[in-house]
Amino acid sequence: MWEAGKHRNNVTGFLYDLYEMMPQKEFSAFSQEMLDDLVNGLRRRGNSNATINRKLSALSKLLRKASKMGDIGTLPDFSRQKEKAGRIRFLEVGEEDRLFGALRETSDLYYRLCIFLVDTGARLGEALGLRWNDLQGSMATFWITKSGRSRSVHLTTRAREAVAASKGKGLGPFEGIDQQQFRAAWKKAKAQIGLAHDDELVPHVLRHTCASRLVRGGIDIRRVQMWLGHQTLQMTMRYAHLASQDLAVCLPVLERKGVRG
């Protein structure tokens, strides 16, 4: 039901946690009471609402499959727990220059990967899975995505240069990069610029940075959704507060003198 990879490993862990908590390991019906007990148990373990939602999403998918196969009866409503809107960490230009400069001292390839990530908004796995055939002119197409749907984005000048510097090497511009080694270099660069204790400053921040720059630059939220490949607009709305709050631009549209009967 889940393709091999990090996501499948996470789901396996989620389901094992839930299985351990269930007093009844075999059942032909799953009641609202059983669901409530699991939610309460996860809360007692200190799981956040976001973590509870991810675990119950995996369980819901599994039980829906069992229901379609006729192995289980009616299922309860798997309503989502309310999640708090957390602070989104992104890089200002000065921070980017210092961090990328420190990374470049370790590896020019890592430096170019970061340029590509921040200018495309790609996830790390999407960039590492990129192949030369996926690059056509100034466009990059990501086939291996979290949503399972491909998407294409335009490349900035420096992103094209970052890719071109690897031309002729490997199956793709960043193929062969070990994620653990890259993350270790990232951690070292953080320490070098005095941000070792900033726990929010992880490589995924580059995707947040791309999104924040698009929104702050006046790009409408639906285009940002398409650029990032979010499945729902709600995911992209996390960045909406960064948009310009200059509502005066609405006035010319509403002025009666501009309206013709």
User: Residues 45, 149, 204, 222: which is the catalytic one?
Assistant: 204
Q: Is 7 in the active site?
A: no
Contact predicate 41/21, CB 8 Å: yes
Helices within the chain (DSSP H only): 6-21, 32-44, 49-68, 93-106, 108-120, 124-128, 157-164, 179-192, 205-216, 221-228, 233-236, 251-254
User: Residues 151, 208, 213, 239: which is the catalytic one?
Assistant: 239
User: Residues 104, 146, 187, 188: which is the catalytic one?
Assistant: 146
Q: Is 111 in the active site?
A: no
User: Residues 112, 151, 207, 208: which is the catalytic one?
Assistant: 207
CA angle 207, 159, 120 (to 5 degrees): 25
> What residues are paired with 140 via a beta bridge?
135, 153
C-alpha 122/C-alpha 202 separation (Å) is 14
Q: Is 204 in the active site?
A: yes
Q: Is 16 in the active site?
A: no
CA angle 11, 185, 139 (to 5 degrees): 70
Q: Is 123 in the active site?
A: yes
DSSP state for residue 169 in the 8-state scheme: S
User: Residues 55, 123, 151, 213: which is the catalytic one?
Assistant: 123
Residues annotated catalytic, as ranges: 123, 146, 204, 207, 230, 239
